[in-house]
Structure 1
Amino acid sequence: MGNNMNRHLVMLAALCVAATAANAEGLPERIKSAGKVVVANQANYPPMEYKDPATNKLMGLDIDLGLALAKQLGTTVEWSDIGFEQMVSSLTTGRVDLIHSGMSDLPTRRDTLDFVDYMKSGAQFYTSFARKDEFKKPTDFCGKIVGMSRRTSFPDETAKWSAANCEAKGLPAVKVVGTEGSADARAQLKQGRVDGAVQGSETLPYLLSLEKDTYTVVGEPFTAVYQGIGFAKKDTELRDAYAAALKALMASGEYKTIFAKYGLEGAMLDGIYVNAQAVK
């Protein structure tokens, strides 16, 4: 009985080792030997990444997905809290292995990065709940002061939208104000220093549930982009391993479970996209 049990345990352990080895097969040697991926992330973009105010624990969709992907690959995650502006240089100099931090997969970023896309996003106008009757549609922001994080693509995208939807129709331009982040834009909105704000459509349902009757969304997102996990151009092995892991999470249903937890099923992708191109 004892010998049979021992043999069974040995076989089980061997199967577990084999499964982990199979999962880790696509990983670069440096990741296998380190037993971890170092991931750039800045926890200031709820519900994608944030710290629980009570426990200071790292939470969010990106965190849950990042941990699930690493587990699928048979490795662990070391989160590296790095300012958004420093993330690309940290990746290209090898301080981190990848970026997973609410980053948009933009053509301008593909000169230095490859992206494995994992969700849809878009720039979204919103204003304070008290001014909801004043701003019924996006063009009501023509000639108004609108705040948004200067670290993002939103200032450029809003200026382009304004050129096509305000100036081209003889209306005054949106006055774009770059802020120190989306939290700063919201603070300025509450203080009445800006008339409206722009941030990622995926963050607003969380924001509206957190602060009832504080903000109101105006119109639909005015851009359509993918959010992606960023890899150094030369790191194709790690990129492809992550794409395969994401495909496995989609097939198992875990991908959907993570998005449903944050009420973001509408932001899910229907397959694997690298640099915004569908791949088999």
Structure 2
Amino acid sequence: MKKHLALLTLACLAATAVNAEGLPEKVKTAGKVIVANQPNYPPMEYKDPATNTLTGVDIDLGLALAKQLGTTVEWADIGFEQMISSLTTGRVDLIHSGMSDLPKRRDTLDFVDYMKSGAQFYTSFARKDEFKTLTDFCGKTIGMSRRTSFPDETAKWSATNCEAAGKPAIVVVGTEGSADARAQLKQGRLDAAVQGSETLPYLLTLEKDTYAVVGEPFTAVYQGIAFAKKDTELRDAYASALQALMASGEYKTIFAKYGLEGTLLDGIYINGEAVK
């Protein structure tokens, strides 16, 4: 099945790489794509505090992809927990908002992957010397957004690396978002927190001597642009546009602007599978 998808997608990419005719009639008629995005995850998407305008990696990449396809973007500010239902019911055309390409989401969605990511432990700068290795977090209270895959991933990591070694389990605290986790960390209600590795370089720059990253990411996932299963035409048009941005160097330029060159992919991936 995966091989068939890859072959099909490769054919579609070849057909759409020359022009934007791969766009669905609905999008061509509207002259825009409606994109679900919640701007609360810097540097992926956020509002510039000085101008209140949308900015970030996903915003820049989303606009560049639309331009490549000869269309425009209408950003729809939708809560993360409502994004998938908004897509499957047709309220939006796609999701581009720091969403991980997870196997359980592929039952209803297809993903065009565009960057590498991972769950990352961090603590307060004042307590950095307490946590030299990841297993130092065993038995500690750690917060992370309940809307993400991080609570399940952290619990699984704890079972393998803490409980299995006879150490106390991590106490996983689901928060209202990454900002809430950081606030609780500052208040001393948490020992540490978890969020996407791609967000932490920006955070450390924004709030110097406030947080400290510990170790390497303990998961490895792709972030992807999500499409409804039925919208293969739009999915493949976006994959073609991303391929063009990679070839021109604009893809790398966008990520370099935010210091995220290390998250770049080496080619086109659909649902985690390389298209060759």
Q: TM-score range by the shorter chain?
A: over 0.9
CA distance in 2 between counterparts of 1:23 and 1:40 reads 25
Greater relative contact order (Cα 8 A, min sep 6): structure 1 or 2? Answer: 2
Deviation at 1:136, TM superposition (A): 1.1
Provide the rounded CA distance (Å) in 2 between the counterparts of 1:23 and 1:72: 9
Which residue of the partner structure matches residue 108 of structure 1?
A: 104
User: Structure 2: which 5+ residue stretches go unaligned?
Assistant: 1-17
CA distance in 1, matches of 2:258, 2:273: 26
Matches within 5 A, 1:65-144: 65-144=61-140
What is the DSSP-based 3-state SS (H/G/I as helix, E as strand, rest coil) of the residue aligned with 1:133?
Answer: helix
Root-mean-square deviation (Å): 0.6
- How far residue 201 of structure 1 moved from its aligned partner, in angstroms, is 0.1
Q: Which residue does the alignment assign to 1:47?
A: 43
State yes or no: 1:196 paired with 2:192: yes
1: distance between equivalents of 2:20 and 2:224?
21
Q: Are residue 158 (structure 1) and residue 154 (structure 2) matched?
A: yes
Answer whether contact 1:124 1:220 (CA < 8 A) is retained.
Answer: yes
CA deviations on 1:219-250 (whole Å, 9 max, x unpaired) are: 10000000000000000000000000000000
Deviations 1:44-95 (A, max 9, x none): 0000000011111000000000000000000000000000000000000100
2:256 corresponds to 1:242: no
Structure 1 residue corresponding to 2:165, chosen from 149, 169, 187? 169
Q: Distance in 2 between matches of 1:176 and 1:50?
A: 26
Alignment partners' CA distance in 1, 2:129 and 2:248: 45
Match of 2:141 in 1: 145
Instruction: Give the counterpart of 2:30 among 24, 29, 34.
Output: 34
- Do the aligned residues in 2 keep the contact of 1:148 with 1:198 (CA within 8 Å)? yes
Show the 5 A alignment for 1:234-273. 234-273=230-269
Match for 1:187 among 178, 183, 191?
A: 183
TM-score for the superposition, normalised by structure 2? 0.93
CA displacement at 1:202 relative to structure 2: 0.1
TM-score (norm 1): 0.92
Aligned mates of 1:95, 1:144 — CA distance in 2 = 41
Q: Do 1:125 and 1:218's aligned partners in 2 also have CA atoms closer than 8 Å?
A: yes
Question: What amino acid is aligned across from residue 169 of structure 1 in structure 2?
Answer: A
Deviations 1:204-226 (A, max 9, x none): 00000000000000010000000
Matched to 1:230, the amino acid is: A
CA–CA separation in structure 1 for the residues paired with 2:198 and 2:20: 31
Deviation by residue 1:12-41 (Cα, 9 ceiling, x = unmatched): xxxxxxxxxx63200000000000000000
For 1:186, what is the secondary structure of its paired residue? helix
CA distance in 2, matches of 1:81, 1:24: 26
Count of residue pairs the alignment pairs up: 259
Percent identity over the alignment is 87
Task: For 1:46 and 1:143, locate their aligned partners in 2 and report how far apart those are by CA, in whole Å.
Answer: 29
C-alpha distance in 1 between matches for 2:167 and 2:112: 39
Larger radius of gyration: 1
Conservation of the 8 A alpha-carbon contact between 1:128 and 1:214: yes
SS of residue paired to 1:24: coil
SS in 1 for 2:130: coil
The amino acid across from 2:61 in the alignment is: L
The aligned residue for residue 216 of structure 1 is 212
The CA distance in 1 between the partners of 2:133 and 2:62, in whole Å, is 36
Distance (Å, rounded) in 2 between the aligned partners of 1:182 and 1:136:
23
Structure 1 Cα separation of the partners of residues 128 and 19 of structure 2: 51
Structure 1 moving runs of 4+ over 6 Å = none
SS in 2 for 1:162: helix
